[in-house]
Structure formats: structure tokens, C-alpha cells
Chains A and B, each alone.
Chain A
């Protein structure tokens, strides 16, 4: 059910920081500021967290080998990468140590590999190395024999796109942060050192505002500051997900030689044991339209088969799309406005899952530079989140799991009940899917929809079913 600010303690209370938006960036922000001792409120206009750009990505943990040397993006990617590896065990988050291969498919592309190695080294990613086509095929026998040469990036990994931000935010909540979903910031005024924030559910008071509104960052900034320093130019990426059987065809993340606009079509395993092909890069007006297109999906299918011929014999499990909050700038648009107690965190285009923790620390330092200080929490709480990754011990293998409900993804009754309760309880089918993977497997709900609709009765804003009358 909706979190209602007027109904409890948050109305009339003064927060140190309001984070607007609970994409992966907002979630990491809430965690950092809470652990640093700030009183944090997160406002999210959607029914659930992770409903914007963060809903669909490739889930690669980037080393930043191909980022622009010296850019803010490069700095945040590397800081985010390192912090992720530091906290992952404590937070029980997975990492698939796949490594990546940037594959050249012709002589012209092969010539560009030298530049990629130089750039990687300039970005302090020193363990990259050239592979000949022969070495490549020994390493990845599933790859098309047409592969010309490659650069290996051993520490490019794969992570869980949903459990990760969810865990960040849950950690913030368990250490004192408040999250209000279904709460859109409509307007705000800054006077006498305080923000008065108007939402669809009442007014909120806070000292500092951090704009993490992703695809709506510019529109929000216009409302708050009168104008925006950047303009969001939505860029959609479509994906195909192949059945788990396909994930055995390849170990590494297979990257193309990138161009100016996009990192190009990637083929990689997912943390859930599938194999993904995508994303496309399509400029569009809409900030919400994440629809897929049959012709594009077919083209992705063909591309996948071109790269890994055996893929032709494996079936497609899912299709999806995500929208990148790109802007007119290449770099992130992170900007403090000290006079207004406001920090803009915009244009976190295509590396935000990796960089989120790094962005959060960077923004916290900007916040300190604005003259703020708090007392760090000493003994912070670590949330207990059930892992969904194949590499971690899943709930179905443990006693008391309540039995399996979603058979394709082996999601248990206990996992579903857990996802439907607590401070971040799923309140939409999409939210339940992100928390548990129920119905996201090969049958797409053929076997478990009925059971799920019963378990979710009266729990979701849009019910899955209604009783026969």
C-alpha cells in the first residue's frame, strides 16, 4: 500500500537531505548519506523503486577501461567498482567474474584495439591484453570463427541489477532513512536555508535537496531552480534474453569495438544464469516508452547468432528495454549549488549501476564542502536480503522455503512472501518480479500465475486478478 507522508511522522519533520528519485543512483545516495549520519528522506513518484532508467540495463560492473580519462564518469565508475567489491560480501551481493573481450570483427576494427589498450592503461586498468584470433577461440570456443582479434579486460564483471540497489536502499532504511513511494515532487521553494517541498501527498521540509530524478532530472531542476543546466535526451536500449541453456556457450562478456554513441551490442551471461544480447541505442522523445519492437528484436537475434552461431538453437526467454538518461554532454552532470543547498545528479547515462556508490561518495564530499557535517553511524545495520544470483545459495535449497512457486526461476513461497512484506514491500507485479524473478523465466507465468495471483491478493496496487462472480 502507498507510503503516505501525511499519515505519519514525516509531515512537519525536518530532514537533513531529501533525495528525489529511487533509481540506482538515489538508492546509493540514500545509503551513503544515512551511513554518514544524515537524516534522509527519499521521494519516489512511481509506485515502486527502480521504475525509471534503472529498470532495464545490461548489469555489467564496468572497470571504466573505455571511459574518458580524467572525466567525472571515469572517476565515479572506478570508485563505484572498488566500493562494490568491498561491500559485496557483507551485503551478500553477487559478482560473476566473467571478464570481457572487446572483439574486432575485421581488420579496420582490429586496428582500433591498440587505442583501446592505451585508453585502458590511461584509466589505470593495466591488466588488459591483446588476444589473437587463435587465442580467442581457445578461450571462447563458442564464438564465431570470424572473430579477428580481441582485447581482454579480465576484471569487467556482471552483477545483479535489482537486488543491488534494493539492498542499498534497504540498508539506508534499516539505519534510519525514510522512503516514500507514490510521492512525486511537484514544486519546491528555497528560503531561509530550508526547502519547502510540495508533493502530491503534502509538504515536506528539508535543508538540502539532491536531484536523482534520472530521466526527469532536467524537468525537476527547472521546477526547483528555474532552469536546468542539462537536457535529458532519452536513449532506449532493447534486449533479448536467451534461455539458461545458452549461458554455457560463452564465459566472457563479448563487447564490440565501441563508437562515439554507444558501447554497442553486448553478449553476456546474466547473474541469473541466462544469456543476454543488447542493448540497442535509439534516440526518442519519450522518457517512459520502453516498448520493444519485433524487427529490432529479430535483428538482435541475428546479431547474437552472428557472434555465437550456436545461439540459433536456443530459445528466447524474455525481451525488455531500458531508457538511458543521456544528455547533450558526454560526462555526468553533477553540480552543487551551494547557495540553494541543492545538488544536481543528472545524466547518469549508461554506467550508473557501476558508478552509483562512487557517485554517492563524490556527492557526499560536495555536500561536506557546502559546510555540512554529521556524525557517522558507528554500528550500522546490514540488511538481510535473499540472493537471486545463481552463484549464491538460493532459498530453494534451504529448509523452510515453503516450496517452489515459480518453477522456471525456482522462486520459493518464502521469497515471495518476503518480497511482499517489510518497508520496501513490492506493490506491483513489476516490483515483485524485480525482487524475486517470479514469472521471468522461460514459461513467463504459464505454471505459476495462478498461485501468484492468490499470494498477491490485496497486496498490489493493480491486482493480478479478481474473483469470479
Chain B
């Protein structure tokens, strides 16, 4: 029988949640429950195939998958109760969590809760993009989880929209999966990330088109082409079989929003005070949910600092008054 009470419940076993949970145990908190809706812990890095992980935490370069395995092992060793395939569906005002598992509806009451539900990319619909609505229109997150978790690819010749760092990550993922992006599109005048980054796709034969906007998606069941507006103002159609929207990160803040906590409507992050508390002070927010986007290492470090604040709150050492900060 699963426990129905704990001292601290953490929602989300990404780098942020794993870090807080482990640290709380080290600080001597008795019962820490880490709730994760997926069937494995680790969050986004589970499906990050490249870019180095683990420099801060393990002083070596690890793959995303290896990194999450180590973080998870640490948490288990520290005595964190990790509950997988457990979705938090609703937050009560005093730390009552409604859960859904294969057993149906369950309840868990926590003295304090830390929401570490991460961030995601803004999908096509929320960007109000014109055109048809075929399949194979997706975000980097969907692309990478297909490639690295399921060894599948959704298409072969996608167009990549955006040029934040994650767009280059999407590009590399495509190459890894034997997909050849036909173009990378940036509405602004220059690449959003490191300017020289554009050299890589270009060298590999994928044009990086700046000052170019996506006007419409074409195709009935599958993507057939995209219509672009070039700097000259003229419209150009490029054939492709998929569209990958990258970046424009927003917090996965549904639980906090639905519970009526104050939310920053631009980043979708819960507003927090100097101690990282939401407008309901039984709840904390950490990791990429709180001001996206940070790297895994940054979320991990933030989590360690956060743990001592949560502990202080448990010990009654934080003020009752909540005042929003802009930090």
C-alpha cells in the first residue's frame, strides 16, 4: 500500500526534482516523495542525444540518458521514494495532491510541495500559424523523444523553425536519425543562438534562412511543403515532409494555473517570492518551470539551493507573508 502522507512531495523527476529530493534527504528530511508521470525518471535529458551533461554534477561528460540514470541512482541511494507512472492531476490549497496511476485515483498529503514540472516549446497552434493541419508538425521535444526513446523518425526532410540553441539540437537529432532538414528558418535578422552556429547546418547542406517567416503549412494528411516569406517580401514554397517548431519555451504550469496560483502570462511560470514559493506558500516552484530556459546543470544546482529553503519552511523559519520578486 502506497503512503498517503509525506513531508515533502516533489512533482517531476527531471534534473530539478531529482536534485531537490536528494538534497532534502541529505538535509535530514524524513519522507520525501518524488512523483513522476513517465515510467522512467530523468525528465527532458532522457531524450537529449548530444550536448554534454554532468560537468557540474559528476565532473565528466555524460550523455543525457547516462546523466539521468546517475541522478536517479543518487536519489534512490539517498532514500527518496520515487513513484513512477504517477501523474499529479490537481493541487489542493494545503498540499493535498490528487494522483492518477494505473490503480486509478489516489491522494497524497504533503506538508510542502515543490513543483518541478519543467518547460516545453510553444506548439504550432499557439503560434497561430496558417495553413493545413497535417501530421508530422511537431516540436523538438516530440522529435527527440521519438528518435532517442523509440528509435523512430517522423519524417525525412523537415523544415526547422527557429534558431535558438535547441534548434541546432533539433538539427543534430535529425542528422543522427538519418533525416536531412531542408532548411532552418529564422524570422529575425540573425541566428538567435551563437551566430557561428549557423555554419554547421550550412556546411552539411541545410540553408539557414534569416529574415524569413513561415507563412503557411501545406498538405492534407502529411506535410507537402511550407510557404515562406523571404526578405524581399516574395513568397517561396519549399517542399518538405515535416515541420519542427523549436524554442519559445514556456513553463509546464498547468497544475499551478488550475490551482489559481499567480502566473507570469508570458513565460507561463508561477510567480515566486524570494524563497521560491508560489503565491500559495505551501508550494515551491523550481527548475525550468521557474523562468525557462536553463540547462540541466543549472536546474540541478538551483534544486540544491532550493532544498535548504524548503527545509527552512518545514522548520517554520520562513516568513508567512508572500511578496513576489522579479528574480
Complex Cα spacing A284 to B56, Å: 59
Shortest A296–chain B CB gap in Å is 9
Stretch at the interface among A64-72, A209-217, A445-453: A445-453
Which of B23-31, B99-107, B201-209, B303-311 forms contacts with chain A?
A: B99-107
- Bound together, the chains give a CA A442 to CA B150 distance in angstroms of 23
Is A469 part of the contact surface with B, judged by Cβ < 8 Å?
A: yes
Asked whether any CB of chain B lies closer than 8 Å to the CB of A379, the reply is: no
Contact B104 A398 (CB under 8 A): yes
B126 touches A465 (CB 8 A): no
> Measured between C-beta atoms, what is the minimum distance from A357 to chain B in Å?
29
- Contact between A449 and B145, CB atoms less than 8 A apart: yes
Of B132, B133, B142, B153, the residue contacting A445 (CB under 8 A) is B142
Q: Decide if B128 touches A317 in the complex (CB within 8 Å).
A: no
User: Do the beta carbons of B128 and A469 come within 8 Å of each other?
Assistant: no
- Given contact pairs A428-B221, A449-B146, A397 touches B104 in the complex (Cβ within 8 A): yes
Q: Is the CB of A292 within 8 A of B258?
A: no
| With known contacts A403-B102, A407-B37, A465-B153, A316–B125 Cβ distance under 8 A | yes
Tell me, yes or no, whether B15 is within 8 Å of chain A by CB. Answer: no
In the assembled complex, A105 has its CB within 8 A of some CB on chain B: no
Q: Determine if B200 is an interface residue (Cβ-Cβ < 8 Å).
A: no
Judging by beta carbons under 8 Å apart, are B153 and A468 in contact? yes
Taking a contact as CB atoms under 8 Å apart, the answer to whether B125 and A444 are in contact is yes
Decide if B128 touches A294 in the complex (CB within 8 Å).
Answer: yes
- Per-residue CB proximity of A457-469 to B under 8 Å, as 1/0? 0000010111111
Give complex CA distance A175, B128 in Å: 44
Flag if A454 contacts B124 (CB, 8 Å).
Answer: no
- Complex: chain A residue closest to B214, CB-CB: A294
A449-B142, A465-B153 known; A404 and B37 CB under 8 Å? Answer: yes
Is A11 in the interface zone, CB < 8 Å from B? no
Given contacts A410-B89, A445-B142, contact A429 B133 (CB under 8 A): no
Is A464 in contact with B105, judged by CB distance below 8 angstroms? no
B85 touches A316 (CB 8 A): no
CB of A262 closer than 8 Å to a CB of B: no
Q: How large is the interface on B (under 10, 10 to 19, 20 to 34, 35 or more residues)?
A: 35 or more
Mask of B137-181 contacts with A, CB within 8 angstroms, 1/0: 011011001110111111000000000000000000000011000
Q: Which of A241, A430, A450 contacts B145 (CB 8 A)?
A: A450
Task: Determine which of A404, A408, A451 lies in contact with B254 in the assembled complex, contact meaning CB atoms within 8 Å.
Answer: A408
**Which chain B residues in 217-252 approach chain A with CB under 8 Å?**
220-222, 250, 252
Instruction: Decide if A291 is an interface residue (CB 8 Å cutoff).
Output: yes
Docked Cα-Cα span, A404 to B221, in Å, equals 26
A298 interface hit (Cβ, 8 Å): yes
Residues 381-433 of A at the B interface (beta carbon under 8 Å): 396-404, 407-408, 410, 428-430
Shortest beta-carbon distance from A48 to chain B in Å:
11
Residues of B within 8 A of A295 (CB): 130
CA distance A319 to B130 in the complex (A): 10
Binary A-proximity of B97-134 (CB < 8 A = 1, otherwise 0): 00011111100000000000000110111101111110
Of the A-B pairs whose beta carbons lie under 8 Å apart in the complex, a sample of 22, sorted by A's number, is: A245-B257, A291-B131, A292-B129, A315-B250, A398-B105, A399-B102, A403-B39, A403-B102, A404-B100, A445-B139, A447-B141, A447-B142, A449-B145, A449-B154, A450-B142, A450-B149, A451-B150, A453-B154, A454-B150, A464-B135, A465-B153, A467-B151
For the complex of A and B, the 4 pairs showing the least CB-CB separation, nearest first, are: A444-B123, A450-B145, A465-B152, A449-B142
